[in-house]
A and B are shown apart, each in its own frame.
Chain A
């Protein structure tokens, strides 16, 4: 935009810039999507509050009552969300004035990064598969398998420090890769659609986990509920301790992002998978083995998701429970869609989701607004981003030359 030939005065440059800003480019669409989601979230907050709703009962008599209390409710909720994600200004000033500790001030950011770390992996997993034309709904199951293998290795062998962690992470990677390889090879050999097989494998994985944690040798002998033995200290991802839960996982996530970006854009395999994703028939004609690419791609994607599960167990949970993987696989799906399947965008999308989650916790505790609002916001943002034509129609955006028709998938 700035490279426009400067043929007239500044005024026309500004108007040109504004006009471009108000076109359906991906940055504008992303911001407007988030804006729409936040507005709908605000409506939900008000509608579900009986006190405020009662004030709307006499709206015609005194509209200010209803409006001001709604506004107060919404701003309190969202400011709690922000404070929980980025930190409370009061805590920061307490830190600078010496009356508070830096740990307290940075705790929210630590929470954000803690929640974001596994999402980076699962998001990259989905994004990478997308680029090869595969929709990896199985990131959840692959993450569960990663949790299982990493967790079991983590509490089984008393390997020395560093080595134990590396072996556990590798186990998580391999577990996830195996769970990704199954749909990959089925797709390559028999043409079974990966969407269906991965959905089914998700449930098989979580049922297996819920069986496994109750078995002798896995279950914590001092507990009767479904929880495994704790992962050995030497296999845990190192963290600051105390209120700062953030651990090495976020740095590993950064490394993984670099690796995936390299794999996708610089390696021969990345070229092949992009070719297959763009047009499998053309790729086949050009001499690329589509079947081999599918199998390998799903194994790599599974490995990434498995690492996400491993990071979750070794960094945050430290023991296996039936719900240890939470929703990281499905959230990874949203993260990848939000990041438009580009490695670095996916990384930042995961940070945003981590921030929403961390902020949602504070919002739930302080404003009493259910954490589920965060799920709604996340889903809404992605719905709008996936349908840029909808956002364009709502805001009457100008057409952009590089407008993409949403998330498109090459069907294999």
Chain B
């Protein structure tokens, strides 16, 4: 674009552009923090906002005057933004950013909760529950995409998992049979995706989208033919039991959320660690990343590109299928048509927003889960902020992330490209 003259080239080290990522983020935080302090502060009634450490209004609580809190946290966000903008404390950039965002959220909460109460345990466990399928779905995406296969069929895998879990779980009368069949359900979709995209070289996004519609159709069809006429026989799966770890479950807030939970919560968190460790420290992980970034080079050193891609996509199917089991075996206890309602696409968003890494996906999924939980809380207390707009948050955040307005997200280099030996 710009034509560089010879004189310019001879200059040593071009000066850093003024609008660095840090400055842009800082400015954003200052604007949003200022808005929060002024707007939320002005709108918040000067009443106590109580954040109770329990499931309801009872018990100990953290209390703060709503108006004061809204202004205080808004100013804090501005301060964090200011430090970023001034270019100070460069090594703590991410910490400052997180602090600023947290302060903004707290300012918002002080405004909304003023005169009311927000049960922290309920909010946290609700966030984790809502994030659960997103974590598993995003992990499925990580497995596929890091080896170079785009997986937009997470939604379809969720649906098949949820359906198979409910159907087989009911017929076998065992929640474990349900869980395994859910994984199989996810694998079925994953297998079609793998064969068509790896063996038959069909565009991966196209296959993924068509598979979503296929899963929607086939689960809806079998639901109406089998489950609706005979719910007792086909659609009353046993629920996954909740287990409590004695001792640890008594820790305030964290205890009931983390240590009084169902198996899926632990499984998801363990999988995050395992997949992170696997990708970064094991032979499988190195090969997966090689295949996802530069399959030709990987093939040259003797890695079986297609075989590894098959393996990873199928493993992703297992994980996403178990994520689908959440909907029937944990959340509701029965299957309904299109019950995942786009959760697979939020998982895809979490995957991208989390920069294709397991821990990033976990963070993004928790953030999105929190937004959803907050949306239900706000509509329950009759807040003027429409829940639909809060529910838009994951999607808007993802667009901002991929557009590189706040640090570009980079996909694996060979993501979506079929590999043809030759």
Contacts and interface: CB of A to CB of B under 8 A. Distances in A.
Nearest to B224: A370
Contacts of B345: 199-200, 203
Contact of A207 (B196, B205, B207, B388): B388
B202 A406 contact: yes
A409 B205 CA distance: 10
Contacts of B87: none
Q: From B206, B207, B217, B230, name the one whose CB has the most chain A CB atoms within 10 angstroms.
A: B206
A369 B342 CA distance: 26
Interface stretch (B28-36, B90-98, B120-128, B391-399): B391-399
B388 A376 contact: no
Interface stretch (A78-86, A171-179, A186-194): A186-194
A370 B225 contact: yes
A409 B206 contact: yes
A369 B225 contact: yes
B386 A408 contact: no
A378 B202 CA distance: 17
B196 A370 contact: no
Contacts of B389: 207, 211
A372 B152 CA distance: 21
A311 interface: no
Interface stretch (B76-84, B208-216, B288-296): B208-216
B213 A375 contact: yes
B222 interface: yes
Given A192-B399, A375-B213, A386 B342 contact: no
Interface stretch (A145-153, A251-259, A329-337): A329-337
A90 interface: no
A93 to B, nearest CB: 33
Given A199-B348, A370-B224, A375 B210 contact: no
Given A200-B395, A379-B217, A406 B203 contact: yes
A411 B204 CA distance: 12
A20 interface: no
Given A207-B392, A211-B386, A375 B225 contact: no
A200 B399 contact: yes
A197 interface: yes
Contacts of A409: 203, 205-206
A137 B214 contact: no
Given A201-B395, A379-B214, A193 B402 contact: yes
Interface in B193-244: 196, 200-203, 205-207, 209-211, 213-214, 216-218, 220-226, 230
B252 interface: no
Given A48-B222, A203-B395, A135 B205 contact: yes
Nearest to B402: A192
Contact of B201 (A337, A369, A406): A406
Contacts of B211: 379, 383
Contact of A372 (B203, B207, B221, B388): B221
Contacts of B203: 135, 386, 406-409
A44 interface: yes
Interface in A17-58: 44, 48-50
A383 B210 contact: yes
Q: From B207, B225, B352, name the one whose CB has the most chain A CB atoms within 10 angstroms.
A: B225
Interface in A197-211: 197, 199-201, 203-204, 207-208, 210-211
Name B's interface SS.
helix
Nearest to B201: A405
B61 interface: no
A320 interface: no
A10 B214 CA distance: 45
B388 A210 contact: yes
A196 interface: yes
A389 B202 CA distance: 10
B403 interface: yes
A378 B348 contact: no
B416 interface: yes
Q: From A189, A199, A378, name the one whose CB has the most chain B CB atoms within 10 angstroms.
A: A199
Contacts of A191: 404
A207 B396 CA distance: 12
Interface in A366-412: 369-370, 372-380, 382-383, 386-387, 389-390, 405-409, 411
A137 B388 contact: no
B417 interface: yes
Interface residues of B, number: 49
Nearest to B218: A376
A380 B218 CA distance: 10
Interface in A260-318: none
Given A48-B222, A199-B152, A330 B209 contact: yes
B373 to A, nearest CB: 16
B200 to A, nearest CB: 4
B202 A211 contact: no
Contact of A387 (B200, B214, B392): B200
Given A199-B152, A379-B217, A390-B196, A137 B225 contact: no
Q: From A191, A207, A337, name the one whose CB has the most chain B CB atoms within 10 angstroms.
A: A207
Q: From A50, A204, A333, A411, name the one whose CB has the most chain B CB atoms within 10 angstroms.
A: A204
A408 B201 CA distance: 9
Interface string A127-155: 00000000101000000000000000000
A337 B200 contact: no
Contact of B220 (A186, A211, A375, A383): A375
A163 interface: no
Interface string A211-237: 100000000000000000000000000
Contacts of A243: none
B344 to A, nearest CB: 10
Contacts of A50: 226, 230
Contacts of A330: 209, 213
A337 B196 CA distance: 15
Contacts of A197: 399, 402-403
Given A186-B403, A200-B345, 5 more contacts: A203-B392, A207-B388, A370-B220, A375-B213, A411-B416
Interface of B: 152, 192, 196, 200-203, 205-207, 209-211, 213-214, 216-218, 220-226, 230, 337, 342, 345, 348-349, 352, 386, 388-389, 391-392, 395-396, 398-399, 402-405, 408, 411, 416-417
23 contacts: A50-B230, A135-B206, A137-B209, A190-B403, A196-B402, A197-B399, A200-B396, A203-B392, A204-B392, A204-B396, A370-B221, A372-B221, A372-B223, A372-B224, A376-B217, A378-B217, A386-B196, A386-B203, A386-B210, A387-B202, A389-B201, A409-B206, A411-B416
Interface of A: 44, 48-50, 135, 137, 186, 189-193, 195-197, 199-201, 203-204, 207-208, 210-211, 330, 333-334, 337, 369-370, 372-380, 382-383, 386-387, 389-390, 405-409, 411
